[in-house]
Each structure stands twice: as C-alpha cells, then as structure tokens.
Structure 1
Amino acid sequence: MAQKRRHFGRVRKLPSGRYQARYLGPDGQLRPAPETFRTKRDADDWLADKQTELRRGDWHDPDAGKVPFGEYAAAWIKERELTATTRQLYGSLLRHHLEPAFGVVNVAEISPPVVRRWRADKLASGTGPTTVAKAYALLRAVMGTAVADQMIRRNPCTIKGASTVHTPERPTATVQEVYDLADAMQPRYRTLVLMAGFLGLRWGELIGLHRRDIDLDHGAVRVRRAVAELFNGQREIKAPKSAAGKRTVSIPAAIIPDIRDHLERYAEHGADGRVFLGSKGATPRRNHFNRLWRKACSDAGIKGLHFHDLRHTGNTLAASTGASTRELMSRMGHSTARAALIYQHASAERDRLIADALSALVDKGRKTKKKQDPKRKGHAGDTAD
C-alpha cells in the first residue's frame, strides 16, 4: 500500500536513526529544522508548528538573524537621526562595552541568559552602574529594532529596570549661596551663575544666548539654541534637547540690573552678539569654566555642588512658589511631566518639614493649662457657715 503523501513539509529517516524535518518557506527556499528528532512524531509536531506560523503570518526567516551584532549595531547608529553628542556616546558604548562581548555574535544567538551574564560581569568588573545602564539601554534598543526587522522573535533584553540610571539626589543651593558663588566667580561669569541659579537654564543654553535673545524691557529670555561640546573638543550649535526646550523664560526682576550691567560690560556687540565670552573673546569651554567654578566653591566655602546643580536650584525655587506642573514643564523646557513632578514632590516634602517645624514652635510656645483642683476653694458669693 502506497504511503500517504504529507501536505506540508517532509520527514526523512537518517542513517543515524534520527529524523530530519524540512519544509518549503514562503521565500521558496527549502528550510530544514535546526536539529534532528528522536522520533517521527516529534518531527511531525515541529512541522505542524511551522505550518501554524505560516498560516498566522508569524513566520520568520531563520537565517535573518545570522548577522554579527557589531555590524548590525554600527548600521543602527549610522541610520538614526541623532545629535552629534548622542552619536558619539552610542559609538563609545558600542566600542567599549557591547562589541567586546557581542561584536562577532549573530543577532539571533543573543539570548536573555547571555544578556544577564554580560550585565552581571560588567558590574562585577567595576564598570559604573550608570555606564552599564546606558549600554544596556542601547543594546535593548538595537535588539528591539531587530525584532521589528523580523530578524528575531523577541527582545532578549528582559531585565526589569536595567536601563534605568539611578543617580543620587543632587544638592541645591540657597539663594544666598547662589549670590556667594556669583560674587566669588570672575566678574564676567557672575551673571551666568545668577541666571543658572534663578532661571534654571542649562550650561549649553546659557552659552548659546545672543543679545537678541534677552528682552530686559519685558523681563524674558528666549532659549532657541544650545552649544554642545563633543568628545573630540569640537562644538556643535544645536536646537535644545526637545521641542519643548525652545521656550521663553521670565527673568526675576531682582537680577535684571545684573544682566543689564553684564550686557554693557562683557557681551559681544550687535543683536547677534554672544552674551557670554571668555577673557579672550571666545565662547567659554566647560572644562576651563569648571576650574573657575571649583575655585569659587572653595572660596565661598561650599562643598559638593556642581554647576548643573544650579539648574536644580532654579527649578526647586520655581516649584516652591506653587507653580503648576504645566508651568514648571514650560519653564524647565521638558516635554513630559516627570521632572516637574519630581520638583513639585521635593517642594511638597519641604513644605511638610516647614509645617512640622511650625507645629513644634506652636507646642513649645503654648501655655500649659493648669489643672483645676477638684476641691473648689471659696468663690465670690459663697457664705461661711
């Protein structure tokens, strides 16, 4: 009796006694199973699964993921619309942290256990948690695109929270400390410190300001650009980090005289003149300014404060005024509410501490009621026996 011909795929018995399954893929190529099977039933079951994938439109070319990760990741970075600083960051993460482990490994061969082992080894070797988190985030993004390209079925980066950068809460300066630091700086940078501390602008946004961006009559600064310093020392003038970064920030009236004095004494002439210049007329560089900053902190007796902490100071002060989340987002240049909510939460916590301190003062200042003697002694109107 003739054997019934199968409708999908083929199974044949090998000289070893094991069974090989093959099927014709939608691309017209004969596709063998990646392994042989102990029984014919096992081979039939595998073919049945493949047939189901084809019917559901869930079929993936098993050879699509046979591309070295290093090659695929390099192309991924090249094809993205990134700022020069982000492109350099991704290139560095790829070269130093991902390629040594995954460079020659096929994309399809990177599994969740392999990723977990890589991350654990990086942390154990002393690589900073922030760097590992950024490298993991890049790996996850690249592998996510591989899923979209139908090279692999699932993203192997499944470690919850591994791409989150946990940074300790940065300190903020008091109003007086901002002025102390401004006074300790070189005079040409005094107003830069005040604007960072009370407007919450970033370094690159401050350095990117031109005269036409400052409207003292209406007390406002228009943020339209930022200066970014690349790893190779070159600088790039770019738009702010997000669309929300292009914004107009109102200036506290208290520092308008300082800004006016700075424009008259130190800023470049003309509407397009740069607001902040070094002593030799060049745009200030961050590494040189940091030396001046550290000296100013030392002279003012302030420890552990970074220049970027002045932005946190300005945002915290703004939150303490009772500004809404939307108002804080607009002032800070954020497109999401996350950062604004953090500052509002910090402000609420501070307000709770203030209330607790007030409560302690109330308790301390309140006169304790004297307990009345239950045996009342004489009262007006009482008569003796």
Structure 2
Amino acid sequence: MDSQTESSNAAAYRLLRAILVAAEEEELIFRAPPKIRGAGSAPVTRVVSPATLEEISTIVDAMPQRLRLFVVLAAFVGLREGELLELRRSDIDGIAGRVSVSRKVDKEPLPGASNPCPNCGRGIGPPKTRSGTRVVHVPPPFLPMLQRHLLEYAAPGGEGLLFPGDRTDHMSTRFLMDRFREARNAADRPDLTIHHLRHTALTIAGQHGATAAELQARAGHASQAAMAIYQHATLDRDKLLADQIGATYEAWVEGRSTS
C-alpha cells in the first residue's frame, strides 16, 4: 500500500469515526465502535526542515513588492494561506501590529460552496478550527512593511483585501504559487511550501520560549480536547513573544550588515 493510499485511508477513518461518535451523542445509534489505535494516523513520508532567517530573507526579497508581507505573515506569525488571502483592512491594526483572524477563503471554487465570493466563487468561512479565530501580533521590525503595504497595496475600504488579485477579487492560488516557487528557488529551497512557512513560524516561536498553550493559540490549531489550555495564552504574552522574535530578527540583520 503506497503512502497516498494510507493517508486517504487514515482520513476516511477519521471522518467515519467522527460521524459515528456524533451519532452516538445524538442517540441515533446505541454506541460507536471502539476506536482503532493508530487507524487515524498516516505515516510521515517526508520531513521538511524549517526555513532559516537567511532563507526567509531571500524569499521575501525575491517576491513581488505586494507579496512580501504575505511571506512575513506566514513565516513569522504563522497564518494559513487561506487566512492570509481573506484578510481585510479592518482586520489589521497597523499601529499595534495586531492581526485579527476570523475567516478563510477556499483555494478553489467548489460547487455548492457556502458564502461564495461574488467575484471568484471561492467559499468564505470560519478558520479551519474553532481556535482558528484568534488575534496575533506582528514582530515590531515588520511594522513599517505592514504600514506601507496598507498604504500602497491593500484594496481600498475597510473590507478591502490585504492581498487582492486585482482591486476587487481574491488572489488566485496559481498566481501566488508561481511567484512563491520562483522565490523559494532563489533561496535554494525548492522543497518549501507556504504551509512550511507556517511551520517555520511556530518553530521560531517555540525557540523563543512559547509554551504549548501559546503555540496553540498563535497557530489557531487544536483539537476540542485541548481547548481548555488556550484560555491561559493571553494577548499580552503573544505580544511579548512577537517582540522577542523581532529582537532576534533585528540582531540577525545587524550581524549580517556588519559581517
């Protein structure tokens, strides 16, 4: 059995298990079958190393001006691709460097998508998980980039997209990936995906002392069972974490300029 089939089987089992557990809770069946240990886990077939600061810097510089902030928010804040493409001006506090995440946009138009974008047809909905609705902070060294982006590249109005494909529409994933592919090759990291930038952000946060609860809160990624720990991860701690990451980045930039 190849790894793709194993991954599909694991996903199918997780879906079936969730349906049966829900049916038991609604008393539609007497009892869900016992959980099969390991059936919902697929083997890891490839491990991609997080990007280094040098690689991130190269990727940022190789991207078009209007997409450089996209890489920064993925690699230092940990936002998902769909969350980034649905960010609006009203979600951004350019002075405090605060980003409110409450929606995502699908990668492609899907038949029957709920709340489709009137221009591109891609579904717009809440983030991937319940904890995906969150507020996170941008490290201070990138605030000038954020503020410039709002002035020069974001669509107009409070509901204007932060990363528009044109002045009214969501950016296509194909357009984004074509530019990102060139940039990652410039950094000699053809293995990196946008999701790996998110993994990089969480790795950096962990290196700066983020607790499990703080990582979960910043990532917006958790199971229902872990929800109890999130209330301890406060906005103040997230801001402090962003400040620490920013200080490390500034020290790296200074060291590179003097070497």
- 2:59 and 2:187 in contact (8 A); partners too: yes
- 1:179 and 1:194 in contact (8 A); partners too: no
Q: Residue 311 in 1 paired to residue 188 in 2?
A: no
CA distance in 1, matches of 2:195, 2:208: 21
CA distance in 2, matches of 1:208, 1:149: 38
Deviations 1:66-125 (A, max 9, x none): xxxxxxxxxxxxxxxxxxxxxxxxxxxxxxxxxxxxxxxxxxxxxxxxxxxxxxxxx37x
Question: CA separation of 1:335/1:159 partners in 2, compared to 1, >3 Å: closer, same or farther?
Answer: closer
Q: Residue 205 in 1 paired to residue 92 in 2?
A: no
Number of the residue aligned with 1:162: 39
For the aligned residue pairs, the C-alpha RMSD in angstroms reads 2.7
Secondary structure of 2:47 counterpart: coil
1:269 Cα deviation after fit? 1.1
Q: Residue 137 in 1 paired to residue 137 in 2?
A: no
Number of the residue aligned with 2:139: 252
1:140 Cα deviation after fit? 3.6
Deviations 1:119-139 (A, max 9, x none): xxxx37x85211111122233
Q: Residue 274 in 1 paired to residue 161 in 2?
A: yes
**For residue 87 of structure 2, what is the amino acid of its counterpart?**
L
Q: How many residues align?
A: 214
CA distance in 2, matches of 1:189, 1:216: 17
Question: CA separation of 1:273/1:279 partners in 2, compared to 1, >3 Å: closer, same or farther?
Answer: closer
CA distance in 2, matches of 1:212, 1:154: 44
**For residue 250 of structure 1, what is the amino acid of its counterpart?**
H
CA distance in 2, matches of 1:145, 1:245: 22
Structure-2-length-normalised TM-score: 0.73
- 1:220 and 1:251 in contact (8 A); partners too: yes
Deviations 1:141-174 (A, max 9, x none): 44556765347x763x764211113334332111
- 2:88 and 2:162 in contact (8 A); partners too: yes
1:252 Cα deviation after fit? 0.3
Number of the residue aligned with 1:325: 212
CA distance in 2, matches of 1:154, 1:213: 41
Question: CA separation of 1:270/1:142 partners in 2, compared to 1, >3 Å: closer, same or farther?
Answer: closer
CA distance in 2, matches of 1:131, 1:166: 11
Secondary structure of 1:308 counterpart: helix
Number of the residue aligned with 2:98: 220
CA distance in 2, matches of 1:154, 1:283: 42
CA distance in 2, matches of 1:139, 1:335: 20
Number of the residue aligned with 1:292: 179
CA distance in 2, matches of 1:237, 1:145: 25
More contact order relative to length (CA 8 Å, sep ≥ 6)? 2
1:281 Cα deviation after fit? 4.9
**For residue 166 of structure 1, what is the amino acid of its counterpart?**
P
CA distance in 2, matches of 1:221, 1:277: 17
Secondary structure of 1:323 counterpart: coil
**For residue 173 of structure 1, what is the amino acid of its counterpart?**
A
CA distance in 1, matches of 2:22, 2:176: 40
CA distance in 1, matches of 2:137, 2:21: 41
CA distance in 2, matches of 1:139, 1:324: 33
Percent identity of the aligned residues? 35
Task: Within 5 Å, give how 1:22-101 maps onto structure 2.
Answer: none
- 1:213 and 1:223 in contact (8 A); partners too: yes
Secondary structure of 1:128 counterpart: helix
1:318 Cα deviation after fit? 0.8
CA distance in 1, matches of 2:66, 2:145: 11
1:322 Cα deviation after fit? 0.8
Structure-1-length-normalised TM-score: 0.50
CA distance in 1, matches of 2:23, 2:147: 54
CA distance in 1, matches of 2:102, 2:29: 40
What are structure 2's unaligned runs of at least 5 residues? 112-120, 230-259
1:268 Cα deviation after fit? 0.8
Number of the residue aligned with 1:3: none
CA distance in 2, matches of 1:127, 1:212: 40
What are structure 1's unaligned runs of at least 5 residues? 1-122, 341-385
